Amino acid sequence: MTQLLVLVRHGESAWNKLNLFTGWKDPDLTEKGVEEAHRAGRLLKEAGLRFDIAYTSSLVRAQHTLRLILAELGQEGLETILDQKLNERDYGDLSGLNKDDARKKWGEDQVLIWRRSYDVPPPGGESLKDTAVRVLPYYEAEIRPRLAAGKKVIVAAHGNSLRALIMKLEGLSGEEIIKRELATGVPLVYELDDAGEVVSYRALEG
């Protein structure tokens, strides 16, 4: 019997639109982000998918995305667990800065290293490797057992916390996962076997 796990990156946030490093800062969705979340819910509904439990981060853009998705599915009262272990990567001293301004301050090459290396954190922040260190034990302790019990699970979170999960699910290296782009508001549907290995994967893009 296959297990269902759906991952969704939140819709566009106000700081995505302004090209700012966001991390643990807490802007809400833009109008476009709201529509992306509604669209994700409609695509899941059209695919005939429903859920037994939901997980999201402690940040409002992910929570808002999840609420809109569940509203489209008619599952507004679904049990939802919030945990900061699913938060976006902490960008430390870069948080709140325009990406172009950061390049002027530290240089394009250095900012690229911070953004796209697996294990080099920005000042005061987390690398993707650091993010995985908090996300993956949480997945193993909290989410995997629900899947193993037959629960259909949706996780609404962030580009880098989801990259950490995808790295594990798909058996990717650190170098491979940093190249994976995750579009906002696109549900990623995984079916897993009893051992937690991926049987099938598809992105619902309409």
Number of Cβ atoms within 10 Å of the Cβ of 186: 18
How many helical (H) and strand (E) elements, i.e. helices and strands, does the chain have? 9, 6
For the chain, state the CA radius of gyration: 16
Catalytic residue among 64, 88, 126, 158: 88
Tokens of 182: 């995750």
- The number of CA neighbours under 13 Å toward the Cβ of 182 is 25
For residue 106, the SS3 value is: helix
**Does the active-site annotation cover 88?**
yes
- 8 Å CB contact between 185 and 39: yes
Strand partners, 202: 189
Catalytic residue among 10, 12, 36, 126: 10
**Does the active-site annotation cover 158?**
no
Catalytic residues: 10, 88
